[in-house]
Amino acid sequence: MQWVYVTASNRDEALSVARACVEARLAACANVLDGATSVYWWDGAVREGPETVLIMKTRRDLVDALTEKVRAVHGYSCPCVVSLDIDNGNPAFLQWIGEETR
């Protein structure tokens, strides 16, 4: 199982991306977390601004398709989409992720 971390410009965009991925069964669920501040390089300068964090849970074999879905519906030209292995956890929850994704 994988934990997929995405950032968005605001809550509405994060919710839109989350719905697109969950409705497509590429993620079993998504958490939208407001209040992040990002500091990053863009167009040759250090920028700072508010972002909303989106965390999705999926199967390892769906990460590439999930990444492509995010890229297709996200407003950023280069959205942050990174995944981390879920090494352990509630077995019933991990099973549920597998059952709810296609």
Which two three-digit tokens encode residue 82?
A: 């990174």
| Residue span of the structural domain in which 95 resides | 2-100
Mean pLDDT for the chain overall: 98
- Please write the tens of the pLDDT for every residue from 23-57: 999 999 999 999 999 999 999 999 999 999 999 99
Which two three-digit tokens encode residue 21?
A: 């991925």
Q: Other CB atoms closer than 10 Å to residue 79's CB: what's the count?
A: 18
**In CATH, what number is assigned to the domain containing residue 28?**
3.30.70.120
- Number of structural domains in the chain: 1
pLDDT at residue number 48: 98
pLDDT at residue number 55: 99
Which two three-digit tokens encode residue 68?
A: 């492509």
Grade residue 71 by pLDDT with cuts at 50, 70 and 90.
very high
Q: How many residues does the chain have?
A: 102
Angle (CA) 63-55-95 rounded to 5° is: 65
